[in-house]
Amino acid sequence: MTPIYQTSTYWQASPGQHKGFEYSRGTNPTRKALEDCLAALENAKYGLAFSSGMGATDAVMKLLAPGDEVITGNDLYGGSYRMFARIFANYGIKFHFIDFSKPENLIQHINEHTKLVWIETPTNPTMQIIDIEAVAAITKEKNVILAVDNTFASPYLQNPIDLGADIVMHSVTKYLGGHSDVVMGALMLNDEKLYERLWFIYNACGATPGPMDSFLVLRGIKTLHLRMKAHCENGHQIARFLKSHPKIDKIYWPGFEDHPNHDIAKKQMRDFGGMLSFSVKGAGLEETFKTASRFRVFSLAESLGGVESLINHPATMTHASIPREIREEAGVTDNLLRLSVGVEDIEDLIKDLEQALG
Ligand SMILES: Cc1ncc(COP(=O)(O)O)c(C=O)c1O
């Protein structure tokens, strides 16, 4: 097993003459083993681990300068929206939040200031699928960096770099860690110059994770394929159960043939994952809260991607930082609940849904 190098600094034979490790904010052997592993999972040359998914996103945004413009989706993780709209917008960076259901929509928003396109697919929490290959064809032609938040799919289901993306971002906290015991982020990429710029930001700004967390994620990754298979199998069964339930209004899961982006999901993903959302027919906020609180096997909590099933109320939890009109337009209504389907026995999960939905 990779040792946990609980080491902040390293011996030097003479000033500057070291064995590849100098100071752990920049390099640590346990973290380096993890970064090589993360890069391999996304078929990338380089991996960089950060102390959270937001730390990784922050580093990408620091590639930009005042006056630059970013085009991103209108259905994003709430924390990403908050960072773009409330932090980087104040530093003179302009964000366009657009609908990516037709990738060609992108073209009309690109101008000479556009430096970055940032997409998330499947989107959180309405499970829309963006055609990465089609978006990458446009960004390549216009010489704009394409970054893809691949958290929901995990590298087991989707590899954006193979589809033309320049940077893949993960909240490692989720499927890669897999056990809800670590907060971490990562960037994976192929371009050496871009890697050097990101490594400079990583070391200069210092949002890098410690060796114990790196070890835990290395251990989690050993079972990524086993866990993802179980997440997907349980996801299929729960989606079908909810589809036939009389209390369910809309259900968002890309595995259904009538999902608007099913064909793209089939083309770019190997399965449909363990994330799905549904709305409770005619329920207001109070009734939706009551439903969410009745679950016993699903835990009501933020986050996703761990072996234990979670239920979440996006409007007041993960997406609370998005103004109501914007989130409702994206389908994040008060009666929407999101499931992160875990790897437990499917009968226990279905029974829990039956008793909670009534
Ligand atoms: C899609 C997505 N991206 C990014 C993040 C942020 O990651 P972290 O919580 O590790 O900072 C999350 C967290 O929920 C997420 O769901």
Instruction: Grade residue 231 by pLDDT with cuts at 50, 70 and 90.
Output: very high
Evaluate: CB of 238 within 6 angstroms of ligand 1. Answer: no
Give the distance from CA 68 to its chain's centroid.
24
Give the distance from CA 79 to its chain's centroid.
11
Q: What is the pLDDT of residues 121-172, one digit of tens each?
A: 999 899 999 999 999 999 999 999 999 999 999 999 999 999 999 999 999 9
Q: What is the pLDDT of residues 166-192, one digit of tens each?
A: 999 999 999 999 999 999 999 999 999
Answer whether residue 330 shows pLDDT above 90: no
On average, the pLDDT of the chain sits at 97
pLDDT at residue 5, as a whole number: 98
Q: What is the pLDDT of residues 292-301, one digit of tens each?
A: 999 999 999 9
Of 58, 71, 5, 63, the residue nearest 34 (C-alpha): 5
Q: Average pLDDT of 34-49?
A: 98
Q: Which of 120, 152, 171, 172 to mutate to test the pocket of ligand 1 (most atoms within 8 A of CB)?
A: 171
pLDDT at residue 258, as a whole number: 95
DSSP-assigned beta bridge partners for residue 119: 148
Evaluate: CB of 52 within 6 angstroms of ligand 1. Answer: yes
The two structure tokens encoding residue 52: 């959270």
SS3 call for 9: strand
**Whole-angstrom Cα distance, residue 21 to residue 261?**
46
First to last CA, the chain: 47
**Whole-angstrom Cα distance, residue 102 to residue 264?**
11
pLDDT at residue 329, as a whole number: 84
Radius of gyration for the alpha carbons in the chain, expressed in angstroms and rounded: 20
Q: Which residues contact 112 (CB under 8 A, 6 or more apart)?
A: none
- Ligand 1 centroid to Cα of residue 54, in Å, is 6
Evaluate: CB of 291 within 6 angstroms of ligand 1. Answer: no
16 backbone φψ class: left, alpha, beta (φ>0; ψ -120 to 50): left
- Ligand 1 centroid to Cα of residue 86, in Å, is 17
152, 303, 253, 234: CA torsion to nearest 10:
100
Strand stretches in 284-345, DSSP E: 299-300, 310-312, 336-340
Q: Are 2 and 215 in contact (CB under 8 A)?
A: yes
The pTM for the full model equals: 0.97
Q: Are 120 and 275 in contact (CB under 8 A)?
A: no
Evaluate: CB of 53 within 6 angstroms of ligand 1. Answer: yes
pLDDT at residue 255, as a whole number: 98
Output helix, strand, coil percentages for the chain, rounded to the nearest 5: 40, 15, 45
The two structure tokens encoding residue 240: 């079908």
pLDDT at residue 322, as a whole number: 81
